Amino acid sequence: MDIKAEWIKNFYSGLPRDRIKLETFGHGFDFLEKMSADGMALDYGELVLCKDLHKYKFSNVPEHGFDDMLLSHVHKQSNVCLYFHENANSLFAFNLDKDHKFDDAPDIPELTVAVNLLRGILSSLGCEPMVIASGKGYHIWCRLGSPERNDHLYDFMVRTMAKALHQLHIRGLDHARIFTRFYPDPRTVNKISLRIFGSCHMSSGLFSGILAENGLLGEETSWRAFEEHLKRKTIDEPVFQAAYKSITASS
């Protein structure tokens, strides 16, 4: 397997592999027949009016089918989006974007400031995140050494985000300009997926690079940072428990 696909498979090993949302230009009966040849089931398909982009949710995905999709993802032929386990997960993520009311506005300062505030809070708790620029927003991933209950993860994310938005307000910026979604969210865990690292924006072709503290990294530098994060920045269970205790005591 491609080394980059191996990194991705390892980093996201705590998430389900038997169901995938795929963003691709592939379509038609031949495409679907090929995808379903090994027993995969098509749960739904969606046409997005953006260069005829299609989105599919597949279930009953075999291991080699998962590997094939990862290779397609790494080779920029599609984007893979993964779902979360229903009860406990070893990854959690924040999705920060402009509120839809500001879609037509130029870049807003609130978004970058909020991301950096959230990064600082998580890092101070020993939970250093990986921040990925995605479209007009950011995905902030944290990887745990063992699964944690979804209700604990959700509570932790809500509290850390609230602390970041409070600091944003103190700086005179408007938190209402930011839309936030949490993964896993116990209310939508079986319905909503999130793009994994290595994605490209399907309309512009731009690579979704890593946002480091000193700025947005290029594609190859992002891959090196991703490998480094995988090797050295997984959060041990005692560290997360201490972080959870700290954030609940202070909010």
Domain count, the chain: 2
pLDDT digits (tens, 9 = 90+) for 3-56: 999 999 999 999 999 999 999 877 766 777 777 777 888 888 876 655 667 888
Q: What is the pTM of this model?
A: 0.92
Q: Are residues 18 and 99 in the same domain?
A: no
CATH assignment of the domain containing 195: 3.30.70.3300
Considering the domain architecture, whether residues 103 and 213 belong to the same structural domain is answered as yes
Same domain as 167, residue 140: yes
Task: Verify that 71 and 139 share a domain, yes or no.
Answer: no
Residue corresponding to tokens 């038997």: 18
Strands 211-212 and 215-216, bridge-based pairing: antiparallel
**CATH number of the structural domain spanning residue 12:** 3.30.70
Token pair 């989105």 in the structure block, residue: 55
| 102 and 193 housed in the same domain | yes
Q: What is the pLDDT of residue 45?
A: 81
Range of the domain at 158: 88-250
> Within this chain, do residues 62 and 106 fall inside the same structural domain, yes or no?
no
Based on the domain organization, do 38 and 128 belong to the same domain? no
Do 69 and 135 have their domain in common?
Answer: no
Mark whether 125 and 109 lie in a shared domain: yes
Closest Cα partner for 128 from 215, 224, 240, 208?
240
Element (H, E) at 82: strand 78-82
CA 164 to CA 94: how far, in whole Å? 12
Nearest Cα residue to 94 out of 29, 27, 163, 48: 163
10-residue block means of pLDDT along the chain (251 residues)? 94 96 80 79 74 83 92 93 97 89 69 96 98 91 97 97 96 92 94 94 83 94 97 96 94 67
DSSP calls for 59-78: ES--HHHHHHHHHHHHTTSE
Whether residue 39 is found in the same domain as residue 128: no
What is d(CA 64, CA 69) in angstroms, rounded to the nearest whole number? 9
Task: Answer for the pair 128, 228: CB distance below 8 angstroms, yes or no.
Answer: no
pLDDT tens string 50-74: 566 788 899 999 999 999 999 999 9
40-45 contacts, C-beta under 8 A, 24 or more apart: 40/65, 43/19
Distance CA 217, CA 98 (A): 21
Last residue of a domain, one of 82, 102, 129: 82
Q: Same domain for 92 and 184?
A: yes
Identity at 58, one-letter amino acid code: F
Q: Out of 37, 65, 82, pick the residue that ends a domain.
A: 82
**Do both 36 and 56 map to the same domain?**
yes
Domain boundary among 50, 82, 114: 82
